[in-house]
Amino acid sequence: MDHDGCVTCSDAGIPVRVIFLAGHDALCEDAAGNRAGIAVELVEPVEAGEVLLTHGGVAIGKVKADI
Amino acid sequence: MKYVDEFRNGEIARAVAAQISSLAKPGRHYKLMEVCGGHTHTIYRHGIKDLLPEGIELVHGPGCPVCVLPMGRVDEGVAIAERPEVIFTCFGDMMRVPGSRGNLLEVKAEGADIRMVYSPLDALRIARENPDREVVFYAIGFETTAPSTALTLQRAKKEGIENFSVFCNHVTIVPPVRALLDSPDLRLDAFIGPGHVSTVIGCRPYEFMPEDYGKPCVVAGFEPLDLLQSILMLMRQLDEGRCEVENQYGRVVLWEGNLQALKSMAEVFELRPYFEWRGLGFIAQSALKLSEEYADFDAELRYSTPGVRVADPKACQCGEVLKGVLKPHECKVFGTACTPERPLGALMVSSEGACAAYYNFGRKSYEKVEIGSRG
């Protein structure tokens, strides 16, 4: 997804929008249009359209802003 | 607001910088420390320092989890990776961190099965796809990353996956910051708090800074305007004689943090009694290991890692840079014996290490020109 450099060294948190949910995973899209499956257990409940903050393939928070 | 565009507006940045300048008292030197590799990167990539008045100095603390890992832990990772039955998985920047016997990339070139992953969940997938091999994930990172490892282990346990283990090197942010504040080498005025660590742990853990040390802290986001606003908030506190924890990154960080993530971490991890940090020595209760409930997934137990201690190369001054005592360009091997292509220490390896950031974005300020030095 949209990030340069090592995700953990940079403490990267990539904002992504939820496209659809499948169990505890969600297909999400970042601002550049890249899509990936993200684990969402740690921020449930989640709805399609919400913006999540992801780190290393896992959502760790929710973002109150558009992307 | 659109997440990126508005947070990089040059006009607003200059306006905020002007407000910061108006609060800086003439003749006073302000030292603000940030403890996050991502903040270091933003500061250099977007030229934040150039917008600030000369009296405000930004100091970089030990916020890069790759950079603070001592060489001995790298050697132990290499020893596990060399085992023929192991598929060793790790994040990108760990591949080139030098150990005393080489780095993971060199060991891979010699035939070890070492694979770069973006997520510990990728490592778990590899374990599912290779049931006859042992898959080890080299877990590093602060509290931002620890939840992803915790979640992965919870999934592994639920699925009954037995060929997966974690070599855990997760560290926590509060103890090293306390160690820095206790250090006589630094005279810091305030802290810029790590935004994504705080997404997990919240803002309350930083309350010891104003309460015990009289230093204000503002939890900051990662866009240029986030950092500038955070610096403005700190300067306002210093100007008004206030001293408290504030949250600039409210669009993401909740004061109480992510309670579900904290619960996951509490189930999977426990605190180590002490852990060695490059440049800071041993710090009590500053790192995580797997809890007893998850002992079956602990690579240190599965492979009996000996716990070696290895001193940094003599020329390496990573320790002083990590503590903010030296700027990267003040290290005697910066840019000469130590470059991103041939790093001597971890701060030049990690893309968000202070030295790599300086090398890639900051050297123009420190070029020296010698005129007529020889006859």
- What's the average pLDDT block by block, 10 residues per block, for chain B (375 residues)? 70 93 94 88 87 91 79 91 96 84 91 95 98 97 95 98 97 92 84 96 97 97 95 98 97 97 98 88 94 97 76 70 75 81 70 69 52 42
* CB half-sphere exposure, B360, CA atoms < 13 A: 21
Token reading at A22: 């499948």
Proportion of chain B in helix, strand, coil states, percent, rounded to 5 = 45, 20, 40
CATH number of B5-65+174-247: 3.40.50.11750
For CATH 3.40.50.11740, the residue range(s) in chain B are 71-170+257-302
Q: Return residue ranges of chain B for CATH 3.40.50.11750.
A: 5-65+174-247
Query: b vs e for A34-66, b when ≥16 Cβ sit within 10 Å of the residue's Cβ?
Result: eebebbbbbbeebeeebbbbbbbbbbbbbbeee
Supply the CATH classification number for the domain B71-170+257-302: 3.40.50.11740
Strands of B217-220's sheet in order across:
B56-60, B30-34, B190-194, B217-220, B245-247
Confidence at residue B369, expressed as pLDDT on a 0 to 100 scale: 43
Q: Is A47 on the interface with B (CB under 8 A)?
A: no
Supply the pLDDT for residue B60. Answer: 83
Q: Chain A partners of B119 at a C-beta cutoff of 8 Å?
A: 56-58
Average pLDDT, chain A: 88
Contact list in B for residue A64 (CB cut-off 8 A) is 250-252
Sign of the alpha-carbon torsion through B251, B254, B260, B263 = positive
The pLDDT of residue B373: 42
A60 at B interface, C-beta within 8 A: yes
Selected for mutation to probe chain A from B44, B91, B196 (highest A CB count within 10 Å) is B196
What domains can be seen in chain A, in order of their start residue? 14-62 (2.30.30.140)
| Contact between chains at B352 and A10 (C-beta distance less than 8 A) | yes
Interface test with A, best of B2, B104, B199 (most A CBs within 10 A): B199
Chain segment A7-29, per-residue pLDDT in tens: 565 677 999 999 999 999 999 99
Q: What predicted TM-score, i.e. pTM, was given to this entire model?
A: 0.87
B288-320 as b/e: b if 16+ CB within 10 A: bbbbeebeebbbbebbebeeeebebbeebbbbe
**pLDDT confidence of residue B331:** 85
Residues of B in contact with A13 (CB under 8 A): 144, 195-196, 199, 222, 252
Is A66 in Cβ contact with B195 (below 8 Å)?
no
- Asked if the Cβ–Cβ distance from B2 to A53 is below 8 Å, we say no
